[in-house]
A and B are shown apart, each in its own frame.
Chain A
Amino acid sequence: MVKPLKRILIGGLLLFLYLPIIVLALYSFNASEYLGRWEGFSLKWYGALFSNAEIAEALYYTLGVALLATIIATAIGVLASIGLFYSKAKIKKHVMTANYLPIVNPDLITGISLMMFFVFFRARFGFSTMLLAHIIFDVAYVIVVVMPKMMQIDFAQVEAAMDLGANQWVIIGRVILPQIKQGVLAGALLAFTMSIDDFVISFFTAGNRATNLSIAIYSMARRGIKPYVNALATLMFVGIILLIFFINRINDSKKDNENGRLIG
């Protein structure tokens, strides 16, 4: 008896969440230039999108920053997690708490404080400042995803490996990494998603020399929404949905994953 009600509630919630995006996606195929009037199906805005130099450059910034930040943040995050694995329980706890700060802190605050940080050091705003900012918040996400996997490893395995003649590198390479590799992959994908998704922090740390997609959409939207913005947003949405889908696939493929889905 409760079941239908539950279904209606969940359905309503999902509709509420996704309806705006569905409308946006629909209008990206609209032949008309005007919102709110449907003049038939067309791919012309997608065409306009791909021939737009401004957007091509923004895409380069978005993907470039996301890729580099992901690689660097994953490396740092995995090393930090291994360090935490070897640390005392108390240190582990404090660091994990501190690690949530960049995640729960409002992006606006993180963005402004990073901007002030870069101003203080007289950094040249652009690609590198934006990259650094992305690395900083991506590391937090990588650690959050990798640590639960890491904690499933019984530390006695490290001693057993040592007993059998393994040095620290062998232990990391053959005992620890193989057991956390799904966490590492999921963490990297999440970092990549967060990087592509980010607007606020990028906005404050990019300066006016660098423009990524979210900043580009924002400035276009201020000049009045052109339908190709809908096309761009639709593409980004689809891309991120696919990424999240993969992240959850990775986590589901591990049967004993009691932490459930990470996101999505």
Chain B
Amino acid sequence: MSLLNDLTGAGPGLGPRAVLLRLGAIGALVAGTAGTFAYAGGWLSPGDLTQARIVDRFEQVNGPHPGFRRNHAKGLCLAGRFESSGGGVRLSEAALFAAGQVTPVTGRIALAGGQPYAADAAATVRSLALRFHLPDGEEWRTGNNDIPVFPVRTPEAFYAQLLAAKPDPATAKPDPEALKAFFAAHPESAKAAALIKARTITSGFADDTFRSLNAFRFVAADGTETLVRWAFVPEQAATAESPAQAARTDKNFLFEDFAAAIRRGPVRWHLVVTLGSPGDASADATLPWPSERASVDVGRVVVTATEAEANGNCRDVNFDPLVLPDGIVGSDDPLLSARSAAYSQSFTRRVGEPKAPSAVHDTPVSGAGL
């Protein structure tokens, strides 16, 4: 027997040529499996947009803020309940819509942007993220913004816009040329930006309307699916920002006003579900739906408490918009999976980092009673 046969354990029936050929085939199969794995993991396509690259870009644009959300970094936790009106039953079999059902809710109000210590400003986009704790361990998590449409249609456009809107360190404003080029390449974003700019800015969180922007589908018990968008509409009448408010130097005035309002009594939003018609955009969050679309008031969120971000509360929650109960599913909007991916990446990074206190403390009532 040859040395080759000795080494490989091949029997005398296999000549050296056959042994080498077979070894080669085995090597090729093992290497092929490893190569396919590398391909699946994206190592062979370094130019693709990934969740890590999206979050890297937030860090590049905003600078490092370990422990904080990479977007909507400044926020305040809240708690309360959802009181169903029963109006949603025919649209969705989700348990929280059953008539008379009361579902515990926790959540977070926040300002868009990756700067956890930015001063509150009236024009900054505000958000309301909610987590409905259904029976049997199901949850509905939803993040909503106070703008009429979203500025971009695709994750790729989001990625490009982050860079185009990056403030120039010299002027603290985005480079106008970069913005112009971005809007030229994304006309849908130019239209959306005009709608966003034209919105009425209310005096604070409590009288603001927060929208899903992305479309979802409600699934009824009989399987009927309805394309929907929703909004949390304040019970309290919206008022414009007063000059006195605009003149305040307090860096957290929006959050403090909200905490003060809660100390006076619950703040309520109605969950108003807008029903899409065939032809309404399901995969384009830059497009508004026609204003005459029917809508259903399915109940109200009653917020009764606020709490500064801390260990274990809303700070350590990922408001992934695709954590949905049975009865609600995502649409084909490409932003939804991208959000789920980017939020997971942001969450995984931040929970492993050392923590600094939030800018928003539960401060005593200050500037309340405006």
A binds B: no
Q: Which residues of A contact B (CB under 8 A)?
A: none
